[in-house]
């Protein structure tokens, strides 16, 4: 079952509409390219336009403007049933009156394949999703995870050129979600089918995606690999949406190769940046909580690190890690310390030295 | 999560859909030809005579007889609405507020269904048998002679007994939805039963009471059969006047104008009823149902009074039906009570053609009307195209109008070439399809509300066009609605007369028309035998349908029963 991956392009796609349930929803000038065989995730909070974008790709919605291209062919006006897509719905949308076999065979019957070919392909795809022997069951006799697999089987059995997932795991419990996530990822790589995956769960997105497009208020805020987005967010929104973040305010002293020299906590340090920063400008520095080091007051800081005195204001013990809120120069910093059994705990009210390595900072373009 | 899936895209997309667009056009064409065109012709005949004119209406209003018919119709409708609602309310109270054993409710439901599925003259004939000049009850039991059941009194009694089940079914649902804990709240504040009933129960049921009143008023306004038998010349009402104007005086324009006079109050009542039911019921606002509590709002005395009233009513209804059965099996009820099969012999010889015609027409109506109903319901509920609401409304017009108006409109529109269709089986089928498909359409929209739109999208994403999706996914899921719709069509095709009496011919006749002929020829035994046959056929259909429905694992026909009104 080798589905040939198609190349998908969205060119300046916009859509505005008013729906009774959600108020005004919109997709605003979205342009994206998904390479053949790639898995791209649309990630964003509720109402950011990610599902609408997916539905425009599927053909369930028509954009007000812009174009959808599959392998350079304009399919914007093409009806859903001519697009050769596989769509996996949040609620699975299995046909309740049909057995597992007939659900999976549905697309093949519509294509008028012979009975033998249908039997063979359904058997093959059910084996692929780990459900051999389930042919005669009805959807209401299946668990959530099993229904999910049938939905995936039904979508891939027709060998679609695009596979589209709309929050497929959100109805499963946490443990099953992780397991299904890995299975979907394996299956997608095996089939090498171009895939768009919509989710609001950043961990899921980071685990499964080749690239992630973070969406905000109908627009694409940033596209990149999970590492890019985490390490080099280009906006406050992306920095805050992917993981947790401290934003430190600092003044640029001068530009330097690949970054900027800024004044932080009474020292001048060189910090990586995407573009040039003008001297005298105030910028935000991204500092992830796990990059914040805490030490007992009075110990000497390692040479490259910047240090400042702080007071622990709260402590949350979570077993594998401890989360602190530390007050530093009038503001609150989040800090995470892993392996607390080894590093010890600081009490609330303790005076500490707060450290960070300049290499772990990043200038956020404003 | 993004925005909720809209039903099948925008209206622009709907117009591009290669299947939907022709279907919508076809529906519009059918509704235009068989709903809008006849009503338009009727209005044109009333208001156009080489130019706009009010002559026909002025003539009507000038006629003392017609003014009285209008007044009588309105008075009768209001009285039937009030009396039927009161009786229905008593039955509903007894069923859900009196803590009676379950079987009492079952018995009530079974008997109450009888008048709803009977041919139109049943109660009227039975009333003549029971209380007529030589009535079994009035003359032979009580020795009263000279009791006059013709006129307002008899018509009111007969219509009330025929239509109160609609009120009962409506109000039973309403009362069952009132949380007894609310009444307990009243008791806890020191109120006594009568006060709780007056200040809590009745106000909460008020929307249902108003709805029931309007439903019954509409049914009475439209009723043609009862006043035709029992109204007599002293109590003319609009539907019978219009009928006589056309069949007696061959005055189409006069009949059309009378129809218009009837159309105004009928439409007003229909619109009022829709308005009431579309307002959110007060009852549902109370939210979560509290702990189960025994209903204590009726005192033992009140229960006894209700039992007495309902028992008497049930007894009366049963007597009526037994009388009909009895009359069909004796030579001449009242005069010669010896057993005879002559009436049934006639039914199965001379009457066979009408039975066969009726069954053929019913058999054609069911698939045609059933499919029309579910396709219309699907298109209206699940697609977006310009004029969707207008189509929904237009398709309802023939249902909302009294049958007499629809019949006259069809007569006006389809009596002459190029559309000379009256007297054909075709026009009879069309008449039923456009008048009685609404039940199926409503059942379809109700069922579709529980079917997630993503099922259709899943089908489309797998390469299925909309017609394939409809056939393979939607139709199997709404089979119960199709069945309910077809059952209603069968019942109506077996029992309706007000519209089709204008459309029958020698080549296509109907059982109900034969019943009417039997009555006018004073062959009440034959009429009774036909009625018994129709009741048996319809009951068989209802039982069969509910058996199939149980297999389809969907609601009972009690729900379809509520759709039968009007």
B352 touches chain A (CB under 8 A): no
Number of Cβ atoms within 10 Å of the Cβ of A153: 25
Q: What is the pLDDT of residue B372?
A: 94
Q: CA B346, CA B530: separation in Å to the nearest integer?
A: 10
With residues binned 3-state (H G I as helix, E B as strand, rest as coil), the percentages for chain B, rounded to 5, are 75, 0, 25
Q: What is the pLDDT of residue B15?
A: 62
When the pLDDT of each residue in chain B is averaged and rounded to a whole number, the result is 82
3-state class (DSSP) for residue B237: coil
The residue with tokens 């018509």 is B155
B553 touches chain A (CB under 8 A): no
Chain A nearest-CA distance from B452, in A, is 8
Q: What is the value of ipTM here, to two decimals?
A: 0.85
Is residue B289 over pLDDT 60?
no
* CB nearest to A25's CB, from B3, B12, B455: B3
The encoded tokens of residue B113 equal 């269904």
Q: What is the pLDDT of residue A36?
A: 95
Asked whether the beta carbons of residue A21 and residue B3 sit closer than 8 angstroms, the reply is yes
The partner residues of A363 in beta bridges, in order of sequence, read A285
For B13-59, the pLDDT digits (tens) are 666 677 888 899 999 999 999 999 999 998 888 888 777 777 777 77
The residue with tokens 């961990």 is A203
* CB nearest to A97's CB, from B16, B463, B477: B477
Please list every residue in chain B whose beta carbon sits closer than 8 Å to the beta carbon of residue A113.
Answer: none
Interface probe for B, chosen from A18, A63, A93 (most Cβ of B below 10 Å), is A93
B471 touches chain A (CB under 8 A): no
B546 touches chain A (CB under 8 A): no
- Profile chain A (366 residues) by mean pLDDT over runs of 10 residues: 74 81 75 95 92 93 92 91 92 92 95 94 93 91 92 94 93 88 92 94 94 94 94 92 91 85 88 82 91 84 82 92 92 90 86 90 81
Chain A nearest-CA distance from B464, in A, is 6
E strand spans, B68-226:
none
For B185-229, the pLDDT digits (tens) are 777 777 777 788 878 788 888 888 888 898 899 889 888 888 988
Q: What is the pLDDT of residue B143?
A: 66
Is residue B273 over pLDDT 70?
yes
Residue of B nearest to A82 (CA): B463
Please list every residue in chain B whose beta carbon sits closer than 8 Å to the beta carbon of residue A110.
Answer: 462-464, 468
Q: CA B227, CA B123: separation in Å to the nearest integer?
A: 11
Is residue B287 over pLDDT 50?
no
The encoded tokens of residue B330 equal 């004796």
Residues with Cβ < 8 Å from B320, sequence gap 6 or more? B122, B123, B126, B127, B129, B130, B161
Mean pLDDT of B459-479: 91
A86 touches chain B (CB under 8 A): yes
**Residue B131 CB-half CA count within 13 A:** 16
pTM score of the predicted model: 0.81
* CB nearest to B458's CB, from A17, A87, A97: A87
Residues 234-273 of A with CB under 8 A from B: none
Q: CA B95, CA A6: separation in Å to the nearest integer?
A: 65
Residue of A nearest to B477 (CA): A97
Asked whether the beta carbons of residue A89 and residue B454 sit closer than 8 angstroms, the reply is yes
For B95-139, the pLDDT digits (tens) are 887 777 878 778 888 788 788 888 878 888 888 888 877 677 766
Asked whether the beta carbons of residue B2 and residue A93 sit closer than 8 angstroms, the reply is no
Q: What is the pLDDT of residue A89?
A: 94
* CB nearest to A158's CB, from B17, B463, B473: B463
Q: Would you kindly state where each structural domain of chain B is located, as residue ranges?
A: 9-53+342-566, 64-118+147-283
Asked whether the beta carbons of residue A154 and residue B458 sit closer than 8 angstroms, the reply is yes
B3 touches chain A (CB under 8 A): yes
For B73-84, the pLDDT digits (tens) are 999 999 999 999
* CB nearest to A62's CB, from B1, B10, B18: B10
Listing from the earlier edge strand, what are the strands of the sheet with A293-296? A293-296, A351-356, A306-317, A321-328, A331-338
Mean pLDDT lowest for which of A299-303, B122-126, B516-520, B531-535? Answer: A299-303
Residues 280-309 of A with CB under 8 A from B: none
CATH class of B9-53+342-566: mainly alpha
* CB nearest to B13's CB, from A21, A62, A86: A62
Asked whether the beta carbons of residue A89 and residue B468 sit closer than 8 angstroms, the reply is no
Please list every residue in chain A whose beta carbon sits closer than 8 Å to the beta carbon of residue B458.
Answer: 87, 89, 93-95, 154
Angle at B426 between CA B424 and CA B428, to 5 degrees: 80
* CB nearest to A62's CB, from B12, B18, B468: B12
Q: What is the pLDDT of residue B58?
A: 79
Report how far apart, in Å, the C-alpha atoms of A23 and of each of A26, B383, B548 are. Answer: 10, 20, 43
3-state class (DSSP) for residue A264: strand
The full set of domains in chain A, from first to last, is 8-240 (3.40.50.300), 244-364 (2.40.50.140)
Q: CA B201, CA B297: separation in Å to the nearest integer?
A: 9
Interface probe for A, chosen from B5, B461, B481 (most Cβ of A below 10 Å), is B461
Asked whether the beta carbons of residue A55 and residue B10 sit closer than 8 angstroms, the reply is no
B477 touches chain A (CB under 8 A): yes
Q: Is the distance from CB of A115 to CB of A122 less than 8 angstroms?
A: no
Chain B nearest-CA distance from A287, in A, is 29
Provide the sign of the torsion angle of the four alpha carbons B350, B356, B362, B368, taken in this order. negative
The residue with tokens 């069951």 is A137
Residue of B nearest to A95 (CA): B455
B551 touches chain A (CB under 8 A): no
Do B9-53+342-566 and B64-118+147-283 fold alike per CATH? yes
Asked whether the beta carbons of residue B468 and residue A110 sit closer than 8 angstroms, the reply is yes
A155 touches chain B (CB under 8 A): yes
Please list every residue in chain A whose beta carbon sits closer than 8 Å to the beta carbon of residue B16.
Answer: 77, 79
pLDDT, greater one: B1 or B388:
B388
> How many CB pairs (< 8 A) connect A and B?
113
Listing from the earlier edge strand, what are the strands of the sheet with A73-74? A23-34, A8-19, A65-70, A73-74
Residues 135-154 of A with CB under 8 A from B: 154
For B310-359, the pLDDT digits (tens) are 989 998 888 888 988 988 888 877 777 778 888 888 888 888 888 999 99
Asked whether the beta carbons of residue B454 and residue A93 sit closer than 8 angstroms, the reply is yes
pLDDT bracket for residue B284 (50, 70, 90): very low
pLDDT bracket for residue B294 (50, 70, 90): low
Fold of B64-118+147-283: MetI-like fold (1.10.3720)
């Amino acid at each position: 079952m080798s589905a040939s991956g198609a190349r998908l392009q969205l060119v300046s796609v916009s859509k505005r509409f008013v729906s009774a349930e959600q108020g005004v929803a919109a997709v605003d000038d979205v342009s994206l390219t998904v390479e053949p065989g790639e898995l791209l995730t649309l990630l964003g909070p509720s109402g950011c336009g990610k599902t609408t974008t997916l539905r425009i790709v599927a053909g369930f919605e028509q954009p007000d403007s812009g174009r959808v291209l599959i392998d350079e062919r304009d399919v914007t006006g093409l009806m859903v049933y001519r697009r050769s897509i596989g769509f996996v719905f949040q609620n699975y949308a299995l046909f309740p009156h049909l057995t597992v076999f007939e659900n999976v065979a549905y697309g093949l019957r519509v294509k008028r394949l012979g009975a033998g070919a249908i039997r063979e392909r359904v058997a093959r795809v059910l084996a692929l999703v780990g459900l051999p022997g389930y042919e005669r069951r009805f959807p209401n006799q299946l668990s959530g995870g099993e229904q999910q697999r049938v939905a995936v089987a039904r979508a891939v059995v027709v060998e679609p050129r695009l596979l589209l997932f709309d929050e497929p795991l959100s109805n499963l419990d946490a443990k099953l979600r992780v397991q299904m996530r890995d299975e979907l990822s394996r299956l997608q790589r095996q089939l090498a089918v171009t895939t768009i995956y919509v989710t609001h769960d950043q961990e899921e997105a980071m685990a499964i995606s080749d690239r992630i497009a973070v969406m905000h208020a109908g627009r694409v805020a940033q596209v990149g690999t999970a590492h890019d987005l985490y390490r080099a967010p280009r906006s406050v929104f992306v920095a805050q949406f992917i993981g947790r973040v401290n934003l430190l305010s600092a003044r640029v002293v001068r530009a330097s190769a690949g970054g900027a020299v800024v004044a932080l906590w009474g020292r001048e340090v060189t910090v990586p940046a995407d573009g040039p920063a003008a001297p005298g400008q105030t910028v935000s520095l991204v500092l992830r909580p796990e990059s914040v080091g805490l030490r007992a007051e009075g110990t000497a800081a390692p040479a490259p690190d910047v240090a400042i005195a702080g007071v622990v204001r709260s402590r949350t013990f979570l077993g594998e890690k401890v989360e602190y809120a530390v007050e530093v120069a009038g503001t609150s910093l989040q800090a995470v310390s892993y392996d607390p059994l080894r590093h010890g705990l600081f009490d609330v009210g303790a005076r500490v030295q707060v450290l960070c390595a300049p290499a772990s900072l990043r200038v956020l373009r404003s | 999560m993004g925005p909720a899936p809209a039903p099948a895209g925008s209206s622009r997309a709907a117009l591009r859909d290669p299947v939907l667009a022709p279907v919508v056009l076809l529906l519009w064409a059918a509704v235009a030809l068989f709903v809008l065109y006849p009503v338009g012709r009727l209005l044109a005949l009333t208001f156009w005579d080489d130019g706009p004119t009010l002559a026909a209406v002025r003539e009507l209003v000038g006629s003392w007889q017609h003014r009285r018919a209008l007044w009588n119709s309105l008075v009768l409708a209001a009285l039937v609405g009030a009396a039927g609602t009161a009786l229905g309310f008593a039955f509903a109270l007894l069923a859900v507020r009196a803590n009676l054993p379950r079987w009492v409710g079952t018995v009530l439901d079974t008997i109450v269904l009888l008048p709803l599925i009977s041919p139109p003259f049943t109660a009227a004939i039975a009333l003549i048998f029971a209380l007529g000049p030589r009535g079994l009850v009035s003359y032979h039991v009580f020795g009263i002679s000279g009791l006059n059941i013709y006129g307002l009194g008899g018509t009111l009694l007969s219509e009330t007994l025929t239509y109160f089940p609609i009120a009962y079914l409506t109000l039973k649902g309403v009362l069952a939805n009132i949380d007894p804990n609310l009444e307990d709240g009243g008791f806890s504040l020191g109120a006594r039963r009568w006060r709780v009933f007056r200040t809590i129960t009745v106000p909460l049921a008020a929307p249902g009471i108003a709805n029931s009143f309007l439903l019954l008023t509409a049914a009475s306004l439209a009723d043609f059969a009862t006043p035709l038998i029992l109204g007599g010349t002293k109590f003319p009402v609009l539907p019978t006047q219009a009928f006589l104007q056309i069949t007696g005086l061959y005055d189409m324009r006069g009949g059309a104008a009378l129809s218009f006079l009837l159309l105004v109050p009928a439409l007003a009542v229909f619109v009022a009823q829709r308005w009431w039911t579309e307002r959110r019921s007060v009852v549902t606002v109370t939210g979560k149902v509290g702990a189960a509590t025994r209903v204590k709002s009726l005192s033992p005395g009140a229960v006894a009074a209700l039992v007495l009233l309902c028992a008497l009513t049930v007894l009366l209804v049963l007597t009526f039906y037994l009388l009909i059965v009895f009359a069909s099996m004796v030579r001449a009820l009242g005069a010669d009570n010896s057993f005879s099969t002559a009436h049934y012999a006639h039914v199965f010889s001379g009457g066979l053609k009408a039975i066969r015609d009726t069954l053929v027409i019913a058999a054609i109506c069911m698939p045609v009307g059933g499919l029309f109903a579910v396709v219309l319901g699907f298109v209206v509920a699940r697609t977006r195209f310009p004029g969707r609401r207008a189509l929904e409304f237009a398709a309802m017009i023939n249902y909302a109008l009294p049958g007499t108006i629809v019949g006259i409109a069809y007569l006006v529109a389809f009596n002459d070439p190029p559309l000379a269709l009256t007297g054909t089986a075709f026009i009879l089928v069309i008449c039923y399809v456009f008048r009685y498909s609404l039940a199926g359409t409503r059942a379809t929209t109700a069922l579709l509300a529980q079917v997630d739109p993503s099922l259709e999208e899943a089908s489309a994403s797998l390469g299925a066009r909309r017609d394939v999706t409809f056939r393979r996914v939607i139709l199997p899921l709404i089979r119960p609605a199709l069945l309910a719709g077809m059952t209603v069509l069968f019942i109506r095709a077996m029992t309706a007369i007000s519209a089709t009496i204008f459309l029958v011919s020698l080549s296509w006749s109907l059982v109900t028309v034969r019943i009417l002929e039997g009555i006018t020829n004073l062959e009440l035994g034959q009429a009774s035998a036909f009625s018994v046959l129709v009741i048996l056929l319809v009951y068989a259909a209802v039982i069969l349908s509910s058996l199939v429905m149980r297999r389809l694992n969907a609601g009972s026909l009690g729900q379809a029963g509520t759709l039968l009104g009007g």
